Amino acid sequence: MTEGPPYPVGLPDSPDFPGVDFVVQTSHPPSTLATRVQSNAIVSYREQTSTLPFLFNVINGPGCYFTSFRSQSGAKVAISRQELSRAWVIGLNAMRFYGRLLYHLTQEWEQPIMHKYSPTALRIKRAAQEWTGCFKEIDWAMGILKQCENTHSIPSTWITPASYDITDLTLTSPSPIKNQELQPLNDVFIYAALHLLKLDRQGYNAECLALAESVDFKLDQMQHCYIPDIGLNLPPDLKDSENG
């Protein structure tokens, strides 16, 4: 794995992406974390030694840092904080790829083949939805989890989710992803993150990659997000800058 920059690159604006702070802190954990890892049935975490005033700690607690998560519904699976954060970056970069691809195709193809209801456009959008739905699911959950860390609210159970399709969470997500208030979570984000990691191993849709090549849209022309120390491969645009 080529060594990348020791700082985050290509991060989006935090207010629009509630998972940003969670991911950045995965790369640079607080220096005041206790060594001991504590666990319940669904999460593992480390306590944070507070440097805040006593009265604040009495009311709010010193905070914590989640290290892993375990599901309760469906197949019992687990995911580490690093894997969850890696899936977030992978999903964000996929959203950027498919968005830029659609832009290039609509700009460079004069034929009506890229009309928004054309078969080609619909196939691209369907491929994009699988990545985007999973990304939005974990981005929302990470925003809630960061609030839980700040207030030392340790979840002891996940709420049971309604039925959903992991390949199309854009339309079937059971989560109120537009609501960022602190609230009980379901465990769909765990399955969504694991699905993104699986998609990443398979790579982008072959037809979409061929279409990108046909309009001379290269992955190294796109700004990728990169976060150090969470196990990411260096993206094409950063490889070129390192070599340059």
Question: What pLDDT does residue 123 have?
Answer: 86
The string of pLDDT tens digits covering residues 23-79 is 999 999 988 899 999 999 999 999 988 655 544 444 445 689 999 999 998 889 999
pLDDT confidence band for 1 (50 / 70 / 90) = very low
Whether 207 and 167 have beta carbons less than 8 Å apart is answered as no
Question: What pLDDT does residue 109 have?
Answer: 58
pLDDT confidence band for 2 (50 / 70 / 90) = low
Q: Got the DSSP string for 107-173?
A: HH--SGGGSTTSHHHHHHHHHHHHHHHHHHHHHHHHHHHHHHHHHT-----PPPPPP--GGGHHHH-
pLDDT over 90 percentage in the chain: 62
Question: What pLDDT does residue 113 have?
Answer: 52
Among 99, 188, 68, 72, smallest CA distance to 137 is for: 188
Round the average pLDDT of the chain to a whole number and report it: 88
What φ, ψ does residue 11 adopt, rounded to 5°? Answer: -70, 140
pTM score, whole prediction: 0.89
Mean pLDDT score, 207-228: 90
**Rounded-to-integer distance, Cα 189 and Cα 137, Å:** 6
The angle subtended at Cα 138 by Cα 208 and Cα 164, nearest 5°, is 80
All structural domains of the chain with their residue ranges: 14-235
pLDDT confidence band for 215 (50 / 70 / 90) = confident
Cross-strand bridge partners of residue 37: 46
Structure tokens at 134: 């999973």
